[in-house]
Homo-oligomer: A and B are copies of this chain.
């Protein structure tokens, strides 16, 4: 199992993609794209936990429920959320326009939108431009750019698992928080798998990847993850071994995208990777890793290269994770800072310098059990505030 250099969502056999500039993004970049498999696909989707669900989410939930699909059409620049009945009409038309372009039926097209909430989708621009989308085996790179909003770089991955390949793209940046506190992510594979297996594998991969990323604690009404499996590489090996390989490859692919989302959080200058070990339950380990990675005070301290480890212990304490302060061991950038209920002696200036790198590892050993988890976040910067104070008006 290995990463494919320059791999993307069209790396698995039989997938094509493309994108155009439709004038939906204020910046004028690529903002309308399609992912397509001429062969029919098994499909699964996971959607935002927010009670406010955007029209494309509501529509795609219906379309993916049958476990099959053939295409994804996506736009950036407008979320088509909080848009009432008009929003649903617009999402349906967007699916129909893509279906017409591809020669498939509307129910086999999944739809996603990202951008400003509360504004009507400019369907006329989609109608004008959808025919201009050129689909190709290299088009995954353009599609990865087309879904970006405040992202500073595209997020792409492909994993060669021997018998089959898994590819994916994602966008993140703001409003990123677990429980499907994510964003948009589209995954593909040429493995032949059934829809129920696909759905469970996606759920399991997400719990260890996208659901362990937090940028700002806000969950958007548009969060969506799709996976399409076209079977062109043939069946995964039967039994537990084949399923295990598929699960592992999918989790690795999702993990790489999740990490890339955290590292490119709005305004971020560095990635925070929190590893929690020795927890009584996996739920405890995950709650602790997410709470630490999401604490504004920890994030600001990391930004300032301030080895203020007390904020990490305080975040651990409010995470709900079972803990015994006297048994906790904490290291920051591989330097032991807390053990036995009190501060360890360490070189503050040296640790502060180490925190200036692009990745800041935080490791917590609870010494209570066997479970562990990894969570990702990013530093909190004045740039985050600037971006979010001036997004719309």
Q: Is the CB of B295 within 8 A of A218?
A: yes
Q: Which of B85, B308, B340, B393 contacts A393 (CB 8 A)?
A: B308
Instruction: Kindly state whether residue A336 has any CB partner on chain B within 8 Å.
Output: no
Please give the count of copies of this chain that the complex contains: 2
The distance from the CB of A219 to the nearest CB of chain B, in whole angstroms, is: 5
Distance between Cα atoms of A381 and B387 in the complex (Å): 11
Shortest C-beta distance, A305 to chain B (Å), equals 8
Instruction: Determine if A217 is an interface residue (Cβ-Cβ < 8 Å).
Output: yes
On chain B, the residues within 8 Å of A300 by CB distance are 384-385, 387-389
Partner of A116, one of B218, B310, B390: B310
- 8 additional contacts, CB 8 Å, given A118-B310, A300-B388, A304-B390? A51-B316, A86-B342, A117-B308, A118-B338, A216-B297, A296-B384, A300-B387, A352-B393
Partner of A318 from B49, B296, B380, B391 at Cβ < 8 Å: B49
| Closest 9 pairs (CB-CB, A-B) | A117-B310, A304-B389, A52-B317, A300-B388, A84-B342, A382-B382, A84-B341, A118-B310, A50-B317
Interfacial residues of chain A within 112-171, with CB under 8 A of chain B in the complex: 116-119
CB neighbours (8 Å) of A118 from chain B are 309-310, 313, 338, 342-343
A residues sitting closer than 8 Å to B (CB atoms) are: 49-53, 79, 81-87, 116-119, 174-175, 216-221, 294-297, 300-301, 303-311, 313-318, 321, 323, 325-326, 338, 340-343, 348, 352, 380-382, 384-393
Bound-state Cα–Cα, A87 to B342, Å:
9
A159 CB to closest chain B CB (Å) equals 31
Nearest Cβ in chain B — how far from A91, in angstroms? Answer: 14
Determine how close the nearest CB of chain B comes to the CB of A111; give it in whole angstroms.
19
Would A297 and B175 be within 8 Å (CB), given that A342-B86, A385-B381, A392-B306 are in contact?
yes
Of residues A117, A307, A326, which shows the largest number of chain B Cβ atoms within 10 Å of its Cβ? A117
B117 touches A218 (CB 8 A): no
Q: What CA separation (Å) do A338 and B128 show in the bound complex?
A: 30
Residues of B within 8 A of A389 (CB): 300-301, 303-304, 306
In contact, A323 and B218 (Cβ under 8 angstroms): no
